[in-house]
C-alpha cells in the first residue's frame, strides 16, 4: 500500500464528513437542525402544506422575523418547498420536500420525547437548582 502525503490525507478527510470538526459542513447542518423553530416547523408541516400565517398560528411564540428566516433556511437546505400561487392576494404555501419528509421521523421523535419527559426534566432541574443554592 503506497504511503500518502499529508496533503492527500487532508484532501481525503475533507470528503469524509466529521461533525466534530468545526469546519465540517455536516456540523453546519446540525446547527440548523438543532434550532427549536426548525423542529417545530417541520413537525407542523408533517400533515401537509400550510400557508405562512397558518404556520405562524400553529407554532405559538415564533416571531415573523424568525418564521421567515427559518423557512428561508429550510428552503435553502432543500427541506421545505415554497409554492406561490398567483391570486389576489398572492397565496404562498410551504410543504416538506422528500428530503424534509425523510427527516420527519427524527424531529418527530425529539418532539415526542420532549413532550413525554418534560416532567422528569423539570424535576431534575429543580433538584439541581436546590443543590446549587447550597453553595
> What is the pTM assigned to this prediction?
0.79
Output the CA–CA distances (angstroms, integers) from residue 27 to 20, 44, 127, in the order listed.
7, 24, 33
Chain mean pLDDT for the chain: 90
pLDDT confidence tier of residue 1, bands split at 50, 70 and 90 = low
φ, ψ dihedrals at 131, nearest 5°: -70, -35
Q: CA–CA separation, 97 vs 100, rounded Å?
A: 5
What is the pLDDT averaged over residues 1-19? 74
Q: CA–CA separation, 21 vs 26, rounded Å?
A: 9
Question: What local confidence, expressed as pLDDT, does residue 56 receive?
Answer: 95
Instruction: Give 48-83 pLDDT, tens digit per residue.
Output: 999 999 999 999 999 999 999 999 999 999 999 999
Q: CA–CA separation, 71 vs 45, rounded Å?
A: 11
What is the pLDDT averaged over residues 9-17? 70
Amino acid at each position: 500500500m503506497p504511503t500518502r502525503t499529508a496533503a492527500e490525507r487532508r484532501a481525503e478527510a475533507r470528503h469524509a464528513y466529521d461533525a466534530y470538526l468545526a469546519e465540517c459542513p455536516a456540523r453546519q447542518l446540525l446547527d440548523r437542525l438543532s434550532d427549536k423553530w426548525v423542529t417545530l416547523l417541520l413537525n407542523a408541516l408533517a400533515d401537509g402544506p400550510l400557508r405562512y400565517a397558518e404556520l405562524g398560528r400553529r407554532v405559538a411564540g415564533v416571531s415573523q422575523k424568525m418564521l421567515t428566516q427559518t423557512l428561508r433556511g429550510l428552503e435553502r437546505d432543500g427541506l421545505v418547498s415554497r409554492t406561490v400561487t398567483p391570486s389576489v392576494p398572492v397565496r404562498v404555501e410551504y410543504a416538506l420536500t422528500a428530503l424534509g419528509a425523510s427527516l420527519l421521523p427524527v424531529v418527530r421523535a425529539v418532539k415526542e420525547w420532549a413532550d413525554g419527559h418534560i416532567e422528569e426534566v423539570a424535576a431534575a432541574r429543580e433538584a439541581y437548582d436546590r443543590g446549587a443554592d447550597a453553595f
